[in-house]
Amino acid sequence: MAKPVILTVDDDPGVSRAVARDLRRRYAERYRVVRAESGPVALDALRELKLRGEDTAIMLADHRMPEMNGVEFLERAMDLYPYARRVLLTAYADTDAAIRAINVVDLDHYMLKPWNPPEEKFYPVIDAQLKAWKHTERWAPEELRVVGHRWSARSYEIRDFLARNQVPYTFLLDTAPEAAELVAAAGSPELPIVVTADGTCLSAPTDAQVAAAVGLTTAPAADFYDLIVVGGGPAGLGAAVYGASEGLRTVLIEQHASGGQAGQSSRIENYLGFPDGVSGAQLADRARRQAEKFGAELITTGQVTGLEEAGGARVVHRADGGTIAAHAVILATGVDYRRLAAKGVDEFTGRGVYYGAAMAETPECKGEEVYIVGGANSAGQSAVNLARIAEKVHILIRAEGLQRSMSHYLIEQIAGIPNIEVHPLTTVIAGGGTDRLESLRLCDPEGERTVDAHYLFVFIGAEPRTDWLDGVVERDDRGYVLTGPDLIDAGRLPEGVPRQPYHLETSLPGVFAAGDVRAESMKRVASAVGDGAMAVALVHRYLEQS
């Protein structure tokens, strides 16, 4: 097996040779050092390494380079080697740029030049980055292949599941020669199929089977915990981080993928500490790794179907028939997008109609006219992202404008993007097509009209999906969980409890709600994370008095 690569790029030949010399002196036995003197040349080298199946451990780039500076190079290199550690080499005068790059390219470290002696200022940094790289879970894109029909809803669901869990894969249309060979070798199984690195073929697999095949955890390691967190969105991840970091044996159960709806956002630009924005996937991945670092267990494809009180324990029932118990539970299940009530649209779900950002489908929108239904931030973020590759993006809203439902910064961005058009007072009344979505019937103040459309992304509000809690905890008439003061105001305090509920506590003592599922919560990422942290503090208070 080829040695992993350490890549260094600097336009100054003397500095480039010096960096490579110092690297080879210490790491040549275990790593191959590759140097380049410009960003484009370095990208060509990375593409060649990728084609040969070689891995890259660290990329070191000088900030001040012509044609392409270090930040621009690292941003483009992320697409080729997302798990490689990224280090920016900078002069003292460029430290502000380096700090900004932490948000732009998820920079792992920046180093000031010069670094003599390397034993004190250079090697310790590289050692730490190599150690972090070795402990990063990573999959080679060529190791996992998905074969299916282009307009199969289940093929889309599998690709979306892999994309949201940040598992690289190669999708092969069933008509491709390589796909035909794989299908024949597997005995012509039912499509879609997932082929793993060791040649195992999964035919029409469930999400749980796919998760197990790619190494995601699908079952808890124990029967009893201090804290169970149900839901892996910002609130759930926040609760898992704070719970585990404060010594609680914590397990998080997520049905789909870490990040929830926020994890599908192409760019979140109003989250504290990220002035240049951060993708929802990056934020979710960081939070997931942080929770696991503190010892939290994260269960994927874990559908929860029930909750009950059993003495001092709180028992969670899972769809597979198993149960887990804990001293306390935090409900952070978030919300799901409402379905679009338009004739014929449902039959094209996963075949041109998508709820949420649908990251797996975004690249396919190149050169297309794309339609988005919804006027809140998630719709705006998706529009801005799609406008980079689509020929035109149409935003359809019922209201007269975006001002009531979308943040001001997004409205300004959209106004400045020429290929985004907002259609006020417009609704979708029908969808048409054969194997895929081909047209939409729209209604606006001028009447009805039919437009050609292959892609429709829907962001039309949300529902909490809390039917499984019926009769267990108090909810409002929309299904959101009532907690603390809201229980008191509604006159729905639990009987036989000698104290009033804590601020985020439900009508069942020891069970708390955080994030979007909680009645009257702020529907923002920052407030959801705050809810998760506050809920853990209240769990401690509950445990101390139990």
**Rounded-to-10 torsion of CA 73, 74, 78, 84:** 130
In a domain, 341, yes or no: no
* CA distances in angstroms from 208 to 37, 145, 251, 467, listed in the order given: 46, 17, 17, 23
Written as six digits, the tokens of 435 are 């194997």
Cis peptide before 418 (omega within 30 of 0): no
Domain C-terminal end among 92, 108, 134: 134
pLDDT of 281: 82
CA distance 291 to 253: 13
Task: Give the domain CATH number at 191.
Answer: 3.40.30.10
State yes or no: pLDDT of 118 exceeds 70.
yes
Better-scored residue on pLDDT, 326 or 266: 326
Query: CATH number for the domain including 36?
Result: 3.40.50.2300
Number of structural domains (the chain) is: 4
What does the block give as tokens for 424? 């006020």
Closest CA to 506 of 537, 465, 472, 531: 472
On whether both 415 and 504 belong to a single domain, the answer is no
- On whether both 258 and 307 belong to a single domain, the answer is yes
Residue 496, pLDDT > 50, answer yes
**Does residue 288 sit in the same domain as residue 388?**
no
Element (H, E) at 59: strand 56-62
Residue 319 covered by a domain: yes
- Let me know if residue 218 belongs to a domain: no
Q: How far apart are CA 160 and CA 357, in angstroms?
A: 10
Which domain, by its residues, includes 371? 346-462
pLDDT at residue number 370: 97
Instruction: Show which of 112, 134, 156 is a domain's final residue.
Output: 134
- Residue bearing the bigger pLDDT, 117 or 474: 474
117 and 37 in a common domain: yes
pLDDT level of residue 103 (50, 70, 90 thresholds) = low
Q: Who wins on pLDDT, 186 or 371?
A: 371
Are residue 458 and residue 468 in the same domain, yes or no?
no
**In the beta sheet, which residues pair with residue 447?**
444
When mean pLDDT is compared across 42-46, 242-246, 303-307, 412-416, the lowest value belongs to 42-46
- Do 179 and 232 lie in one domain? The reply is no
- CA Rg, the chain, in Å? 25
Is it the case that residue 7 has pLDDT exceeding 60?
yes
pLDDT at 99: 64
**pLDDT: is 519 or 259 the higher one?**
519
Task: Give the CATH number for residue 357.
Answer: 3.50.50.60
Residue 519: inside a domain, yes or no? yes
pLDDT of residue 166: 83
pLDDT of residue 114: 73
> Which range among 195-209, 238-252, 385-399 shows the weakest confidence by mean pLDDT?
195-209
Mean pLDDT, range 70-82, rounded to an integer: 84
Q: 323 and 390 share a domain?
A: no
- Confidence grade of residue 141 (pLDDT, cut at 50, 70, 90): very low
Question: Measured between alpha carbons, how far is 255 from 215 in angstroms, rounded to an integer?
Answer: 16
Q: Give the pLDDT mean for 420-427.
A: 97
Is 60 exceeded by the pLDDT of residue 142? no
- pLDDT of the residue at 279: 79
Confidence of residue 92 (pLDDT cuts 50, 70, 90): low
What pLDDT score was predicted for residue 70? Answer: 85
What's the per-residue H, E or C state across 236-265?
Answer: HHHHHHHHHHCCCCEEEEECCCCCCCHHHC
Count the neighbouring beta carbons within 10 Å of the beta carbon of residue 408.
10
Q: Are residues 11 and 62 in the same domain?
A: yes
What does the mean pLDDT of the chain come to?
90
Residue 163 pLDDT exceeds 90: no
Express each pLDDT in 358-398 by its tens digit: 878 888 899 999 999 999 999 999 999 999 999 999 999 99
The percent of residues above 70 in pLDDT, for the chain, comes to 95
Query: 134 — phi, psi (to 5°)?
Result: -65, -30
Q: What is the pLDDT of residue 97?
A: 62
Distance of alpha carbon 292 from alpha carbon 149, whole angstroms: 36
Q: Do 86 and 130 belong together in one domain?
A: yes
Domain-ending residue, one of 436, 462, 488:
462
Task: Decide if 439 is inside a domain.
Answer: yes
Give the integer Cα–Cα distance in Å for 192 and 174: 9
Residues of the chain with pLDDT > 90, as a percent, come to 64
476 and 329 co-located in one domain: yes
Does position 310 have pLDDT exceeding 60, yes or no?
yes
For residue 160, tell me if it sits in a domain: yes
Q: Is residue 270 part of a domain?
A: yes
472 found inside a domain: yes
For residues 28 and 109, state if they share a domain.
yes
Q: Is 26 in the same domain as 113?
A: yes
pTM for the whole structure? 0.75
β-sheet bridge partners, residue 458: 355, 373
Residue 219: is its pLDDT beyond 90?
yes
For the purposes of burial, counting CB atoms within 10 Å of the CB of 418, is it exposed (0-12), middle (13-18) or buried (19 or more)?
exposed
CA distance 288 to 272: 18
CA distance 540 to 49: 51
Residue 138, pLDDT score: 57
Concatenating the DSSP letter of every residue in 259-294 gives: TTTGGG-S-B-SSTT-TT-B-HHHHHHHHHHHHHHT
